Amino acid sequence: MAAGLKDQRHGTGTIYGPDEAIVFKGNFDQGKPQGVGQEFRDDGTMVYDGNFVEGQRQGRGKLFSMRGELIFEGEFLANLREGQGIEYNEDGIKLYEGAWEKDFREGQGELFDSQQRLVFTGLFIKGEPSGQGKEYRKDGGVLYEGDYENKKRHGQGTLYFSSGEILYQGTFAENFKSGEVKKELWFIREALSSENRMEVEPNSVKMVRNSIRAIGKRA
């Protein structure tokens, strides 16, 4: 055995903190956690269960809350969430499933509400919807499809009635139709707001579209 290695941790073992609480148990190689292992907080609750490479979280693993609830399962690189993964709240409800980079939601992913209904699918940048995406109604129908920037509708996009008919198609800026007269589009915002999404009567479609055309001519 090479000099300096004979006293290093190797194989299965446990690391204890100053108060003799377990802070790590699992496999070691050349003094560092390597392979399957578990990390613990100072209060004894497990924070991570998964794979290690040269002492860092890397590969498949799970994160747990202080209550012991699973809050993430997926891939890690250099101690950070990186690759594909699923995020949960402390009640076990799935919040997000998709790509991660350097601990942020990054790339293609899906967001879910408290009932685990799909509410958004598309591209994420630094944790927020940015780029192409779709918003969904509670019944699963598409509400909006198009561009986002910092989780707001921004760029080219299309709004839909619950019937699937197009309500508006064009340019958005900061969630609103670019250059819109907001007072005259109160009907649209009321019909499609997240807190009060209501069925729009078919005979209202023509009225709303005419309002949009009139606004577009003045913009």
| CATH number, domain containing residue 99 | 3.90.930.1
Those residues with Cβ within 8 angstroms of residue 66's Cβ, 6 or more apart along the chain or in another chain: 41, 43, 45
Average pLDDT over residues 42-67: 96
Same-domain check for residues 7 and 57: yes
Q: Which of 92, 116, 140 is the last residue of a domain?
A: 116
In a domain, 170, yes or no: yes
Q: How many domains does the chain have?
A: 2
Q: Which of 82, 116, 150 is the last residue of a domain?
A: 116
In a domain, 171, yes or no: yes
Same-domain check for residues 106 and 132: no
* pTM of this prediction exceeds 0.85: no
* C-beta contacts of 72-77 below 8 A and 24+ residues apart: 74/100, 75/100, 76/50, 76/51
Same-domain check for residues 94 and 141: no
Same-domain check for residues 60 and 104: yes
CB atoms within 10 A of CB 81: 23
Would you place residue 166 in the very low, low, confident or very high pLDDT band (cuts 50, 70, 90)? Answer: very high
Domain that holds residue 185: 126-219
In a domain, 121, yes or no: no
In a domain, 68, yes or no: yes
Query: 156-194 in b/e burial notation, b at 16+ Cβ within 10 A?
Result: ebbbbbbeeeebbeebbeeebbeebeeeebeebeebbee
Same-domain check for residues 107 and 15: yes
Give the E-state strand segments of the chain in sequence order: 11-16, 22-29, 32-40, 46-53, 56-64, 70-77, 80-88, 94-101, 104-112, 118-125, 128-136, 142-149, 152-160, 166-173, 176-177
Same-domain check for residues 197 and 167: yes
pLDDT at 123 over 60: yes
Same-domain check for residues 146 and 191: yes
Q: What is the pLDDT of residues 207-219, one digit of tens each?
A: 444 444 443 443 3
Would you place residue 176 in the very low, low, confident or very high pLDDT band (cuts 50, 70, 90)? Answer: confident
pLDDT at 132 over 60: yes
Q: Any idea which of 2-11, 149-158, 174-183, 203-212 has the lowest mean pLDDT?
A: 203-212
9 or 181, which is more confident: 9
CB atoms within 10 A of CB 56: 16
